Amino acid sequence: MHYYLRLFGSSGNLLRVMKFCNVLSCNLERVVKPNLALLQGCGLGDCDIAKLCISTPRLLANNPKRLQAIVTCAQNIGVPRGSRMFRHALHAVAPFREEEIAARVEYLRNTFRWTDAEVGMAVSKFPRVLTKSKESLQRRSEFLISEAGLEPVHIAQRSVILGHSLEGRLRPRYYAVKFLKENGLLKRDSSYYTVFKESEKAFKKMFIHPHKEAAPHLEKDYDAACKGEVPTNFRFT
């Protein structure tokens, strides 16, 4: 017990893992320690390993050969060992077999009209895109490419935007900024990547609050849009 408490950092973290996997029943010497050594060999520190095991509770309980296969899959999607993204890559590929990952990569390539190089770049920059449902990805593709007019290569370069909520973030921000552009209220043209990536506080400071006088209803309309109550038009009065 002491070994696992030290590994996970607290009894609360250990209990979170044990809700999904009774790691205490695993063979410490034959399973847990070899798996831990493998993860450490991938450049993961104690904090990273604890976070990974909390988000992927069954990881340490895997047969060491299976964990080695997961590590290899993470490398094969273009994320090198020792990089800051490797923990996220392990989390993304852990639930899937190799052929399932290949099928998901192919779906991404077709859905976002990416070349092989572009889909590789997108996955390596945001591995968790592999965990998104087909419906979710299709809706994002239709919005970002067909409606917002983004080039597929630009989406691949900034694939982290695919992790943002479509209805709660991407659409409302797009329509708010589109309103500002169409009415000549923006002094400089900001890329939609900048629009999408900013925190909520920063977005409002940059794009909503400076226009309180010219468009007093903008913040109210934007907030409604974020809740799914999309107004027919953003308004001046």
Do 50 and 86 share a domain, yes or no?
yes
pLDDT at 231: 61
In a domain, 234, yes or no: no
Give the pLDDT band of residue 99 (cuts 50, 70, 90).
very high
Mean pLDDT of 174-178: 93
Give the end of a domain, one of 126, 147, 163. 163
91 plus 28 within the same structural domain: yes
pLDDT at 139 over 80: yes
Residues 21 and 51 in one domain: yes
pTM listed for this prediction = 0.85
Count of domains observed in the chain: 3
pLDDT at 200 over 90: yes
How confident is the model over 180-199, as a mean pLDDT? 90
Per-residue confidence (pLDDT) for residue 1, from 0 to 100: 67
Residues 28-57 as b or e (16 or more Cβ within 10 Å = b): eeebbebbbebbeebebeeebbbbbbbebb
Question: Which is more confidently placed, 2 or 211?
Answer: 211
Residue 237 has pLDDT above 50, yes or no: no
| Least trusted range by pLDDT, from 14-18, 128-132, 181-185 | 14-18
Q: Does a structural domain hold residue 232?
A: no
Containing structural domain, residue 89: 2-95
CA–CA distance, 177 with 132 (Å, rounded to integer): 27
User: 201 in a domain, yes or no?
Assistant: yes
Is 27's pLDDT higher than 90?
no
The closest alpha carbon to 197, from 104, 125, 142, belongs to 125
Q: Of 64, 95, 126, which marks where a domain is finished?
A: 95
Task: Give the tens place of pLDDT for each residue, 45-84.
Answer: 988 988 898 888 888 889 999 999 999 999 999 999 999 9
Does the residue 17 lie in any domain? yes
Judge whether residue 177 has pLDDT over 60.
Answer: yes
The mean pLDDT of the chain is 91
